[in-house]
Amino acid sequence: MPNLKMIRVKTKLDEIFDSKIDLSDASDDVERKNKYYTRAIAALAIIMRCGIDYDSAAQTITDGYHDMGIDAVYNDTSQKKLFLVQSKWRKDGNGGISQEEANAFVSGIKRFINFDFSGCNAKLAAKQQEITAAIRDMDYQIEMIFCHTGNQNIAPYALRPINELLGQVNEDDTTKLLIFTESKLQDIYDYLANGQNCENIVLDDVILNNWGIVEAPYRAYYGTICVAAVGEWYKQYGNRLFAKNIRYYKGSTEVNQGIKEVLKSEPDKFFYYNNGIKMLCKKITKKAAYSTDRNTGLFVLEGVSLVNGAQTTGTIGSVYAEMPELLNSACVYIQMIDLGDANEEQVAQITKLSNTQNRIEGKDFASLDPNQERLRMELSFGGIQYLYKSGSKIDSPEQQISLDEAIIAQACAIPDLTITALTKRNVGALTESIERTPYKLLFNGETNSFSLYNNIQVLRAVEHCIAQNEPTVTGRKRLVLVHGNRYLLHIILGKIKEIEGYSTQYFNKDQIETLVETMFTEIWENIYESMEKTFPESYPAHIFKNVGRLKELES
């Protein structure tokens, strides 16, 4: 008997991707048809996770000869996620992922992580630069997706190589660098049946507590809502809730882990710690029930999209999936805006401005630190412009240095490896508060403008050496340059800052570059050899952000 779900999925894929997918490598009609559907579901997997349009999704396909086991690649800069997809088209809608298929997928992922693109096809080669940039970015997460039209979850024996890779890359980190997602026939069918358009999302019986209303220019309601209700929305609609947001839920990031901890440990105080959610709607209807006061209101929301609060909503959803009963005592602030009377231009403007509010970071408060202004004035006497206020950009590097450079250079100049590891793990933590350490270790009344400038010149010289050497090597030796860059800087600064005059005069660029170049290769080789001897199985990204491991490398 024909599989009705497969028939419907095929029909929808034909409708979505007709003439959009490259099939120039297919030799006959049979191969052409198989390649079409295999590639179509790979592209669809990207759409399901990122919400991009069909034409853009078709351009993510890398399937073909020498594809390294990766059928689609997409770098989502808004989510800070790199998506790597393997797809298998099961014509009968049965089966799952074999161990051989899992091994091939894992092999390709490993090569990506090690920046090994040798022998890859032209489509992968064209994406090499953005892939490597995403892998080296501390804020990025890699999501490996196996999309297939089978009806079975991956078996434990087939999952084993994937779990081994996840263990090697993630180790004991709470923030996962690499995650795995499986999408089966049912997931594909449900997505295609429900559609990705937020116009289809209707939330009925939404209970708003202590609510208020703004009548013009657009009617808007505000108040608090039970967090469990938000968790149920995410369970039902997932990332479709964020169709008009500039980013989807990013998963287990450091910020989201913080949201999760508050939900678990202090759910009754969540309202006070969280900024809340903003929701745009095509239509909002207030029901008659509970209409005698403002304590409780009952609403129907149509054409829903969350434009602020994606990380809050997604994290609530992840906690709700684990322990829904925990969220009954938590509430969150929400704004619901009825845009039924707005034209398309007005809707676009509200959406844009809702998504682009200025985010204040800890380092922005450095402008309030008198030491920063003192350093700026001292440096100005040497003809050096110190750009320490947010929004300033370097346009003349010979005469300018920046706060971003200063933070890293000062941190890596500190003898304590705890600060070096923190610089690699979470550079933002260095400037969380200008009133206490670690910021006070970097900038205080004793901070010397000569040392500051020279430290930054060393930072630039080290980064120049890394950029020159990285293309010449592969594998783990290359990963020392990628992930060990701050540790390299720490060691080199430790040697150079002992040179006479380092803290009493400004060294010129050529002096610093010569000093760094003479010692760079030897230090790099020593770190690599120590890493291979001490941690031969560990992924380098973990080694260089763990203070205990850095101390072992030094011993």
**What are 356-371's pLDDT values in tens digits?**
555 556 777 888 889 9
Mean pLDDT in consecutive groups of 10 residues from the start of the chain, 555 residues: 89 93 91 95 92 88 94 86 95 94 96 92 93 86 95 95 92 79 93 69 92 92 95 83 71 76 90 91 88 86 87 89 87 93 78 63 80 94 89 83 96 97 91 90 96 98 96 92 96 96 94 96 96 92 92 89
pLDDT given for residue 356 in this prediction: 59
DSSP 342: S
pLDDT given for residue 398 in this prediction: 86
pLDDT given for residue 276 in this prediction: 92
| 141: β partners | 81
pLDDT given for residue 185 in this prediction: 95
Side-chain half-sphere of 305: how many Cα atoms within 13 Å? 25
Tokens of 292: 């005698």
Task: Using a cut of 0.85, tell me whether the model's pTM lies above it.
Answer: no
Provide DSSP, 35-90. Answer: HHHHHHHHHHHHHHHH---HHHHHTTB--STT-TT--EEEEETTTTEEEEEEEE--
pLDDT given for residue 188 in this prediction: 93
DSSP 397: T
Domains of the chain with bracketed CATH:
4-194 (3.40.91.30), 198-355 (no CATH), 362-554 (no CATH)
Q: Which of 416, 520, 386, 375 is nearest to 462 (CA)?
A: 520
Work out the angle at residue 56's Cα, subtended by the Cα atoms of residues 55 and 58, and round it to the nearest 5 degrees: 65
Q: Which of 474, 451, 453, 459 is nearest to 423 (CA)?
A: 459
- Contacts of residue 280, Cβ cutoff 8 Å, sequence gap at least 6: 244, 304, 305, 306, 307, 337, 339, 347, 350, 351, 354
pLDDT given for residue 367 in this prediction: 80
Give how far the C-alpha of residue 329 lies from the chain's centroid of Cα atoms, to the nearest Å: 30
- Contacts of residue 329, Cβ cutoff 8 Å, sequence gap at least 6: 267, 268
pLDDT given for residue 412 in this prediction: 98
Determine contact, residues 363/403, Cβ cutoff 8 Å. Answer: yes
Its sign, for the CA torsion 55, 46, 203, 307, is negative
pLDDT given for residue 198 in this prediction: 57
CA atoms of 388 and 402, how far apart (whole Å): 6
pLDDT given for residue 355 in this prediction: 64
Tokens of 102: 């899992």
Tokens of 409: 């250079």
Q: For the segment 144-170, what is each residue's pLDDT rounded down to a tens digit?
A: 999 999 999 999 999 999 999 999 898
Q: Is 201 exposed, middle or buried (0-12, 13-18, 19+ CB in 10 A)?
A: buried
- φ and ψ at 335, to 5 degrees? -115, 135
DSSP 221: E
- Contacts of residue 320, Cβ cutoff 8 Å, sequence gap at least 6: 227, 228, 230, 231, 232, 234, 235, 327
Per the listing, tokens 């630190």 go with 369
- Contacts of residue 405, Cβ cutoff 8 Å, sequence gap at least 6: 456, 459, 460
Give how far the C-alpha of residue 506 lies from the chain's centroid of Cα atoms, to the nearest Å: 38
Mapped onto helix, strand or coil, the DSSP state of residue 426 is coil
pLDDT given for residue 348 in this prediction: 73
Give whole-number Cα distances, 9 to 37, 40, 62, 370, 531, in Å.
Answer: 10, 11, 22, 63, 49
Q: Is 450 exposed, middle or buried (0-12, 13-18, 19+ CB in 10 A)?
A: middle
DSSP 294: S
Residues shown for the chain: 555
- The dihedral over CA atoms of 238, 244, 247, 250, expressed in degrees to the nearest 10, equals -10
* Residue type for position 102: A
